[in-house]
Structure formats: C-alpha cells, structure tokens
Structure 1
Amino acid sequence: MPRYDYRCRTCGDTFELNRPMAESSAPAPCPQGHADTVKLLSTVAVTGTAASPAPSAGGGGGCCGGGCCR
C-alpha cells in the first residue's frame, strides 16, 4: 500500500499515511486533529547495488561518454 506524506498548515507538522491509491486525494486530518492539510509531493528513492553491473560499452551518449568534454 502506498505511503503519502502530508503537512498540516495549522501546526506545521509533517505526517505519513498508508492508504490505497484510490484514496490518495481524500482529506487527511493531522494527528493533532487539524483539518487544514496538504499532500506533499513525494520522491522515490531506489537504493542498493546491482548484483552484476552492466558491462561498459564505451562511447555512447552523454557528454563525457560521447567524448565532447575536453
């Protein structure tokens, strides 16, 4: 179930709620009971290491991979 971040405009507290995507835009009162809250834009963090890194083909796109940096 997705986790959504909210901030209370009354007291300034930030809190999280786990709720179905279908309820993502439903009102979410803060833990202190205030109703004036706003859903925050969350970022996704993917961490860890690759089990086997992709082989380097050299060249390719990108500034430094394409040889345009000098």
Structure 2
Amino acid sequence: MPRYDYRCRACGSTFELNRPMAQAGDRAVCPSGHDDTVKLLSTVAVTGRASGAPAARPAGGAGGCCGGGCCGG
C-alpha cells in the first residue's frame, strides 16, 4: 500500500498515511485533529539493477590498454 506525506497548515506538522491509491486524493486529518492539510510531493529512490541484467564493467585497464588509452600505436 502506498505511503503519502502530508503537512498540516494549522500546526505545521508533517505526517505520513498508508492508504490505497484509490484514496490518494481524499482529505487527511493530522494527528492533532486539524483537517487543513496538503499532500506533499514525494520522491522515490530506485537503486540496484534488474534481475538478469549484466553487471557493469569498469572502464579502461583491460586488454592491452594502459591508463585508458591504447599503447604502442
């Protein structure tokens, strides 16, 4: 279930609510009981790699190259 962040305009507190996406636009009441709240824009951090994706190789230093440039040209 998604988590949404809110800020209360009356007391300034921020809080989170877990609710279904179908209720994302519903009004929220802050823990102090105020109903003048706004939903905050949340950011999502995505890390890692997809399963089955090849691992990244480090650049340079392999197969006859020294320091990233080919030697003896």
Q: TM-score, normalised by structure 2?
A: 0.66
Unaligned runs of at least 5 residues, structure 1: 59-70
Q: Offset of 1:45 from its aligned partner?
A: 1.3
What CA deviation, in whole Å up to 9, does each residue of 1:6-28 have, x standing for no partner?
00000000000000000000000
RMSD between aligned residues: 2.7
Aligned residues: 58
Which has more strand, going by share of residues? 2
1:15 equivalent in alignment to 2:15: yes
Q: TM-score, normalised by structure 1?
A: 0.69
**Partner of 2:56 in structure 1?**
54
Paired AA for residue 54 in structure 1:
A
Unaligned runs of at least 5 residues, structure 2: 61-73
In the TM superposition, structure 1's runs of 4+ consecutive aligned residues that sit over 4 Å from their partners are 48-52
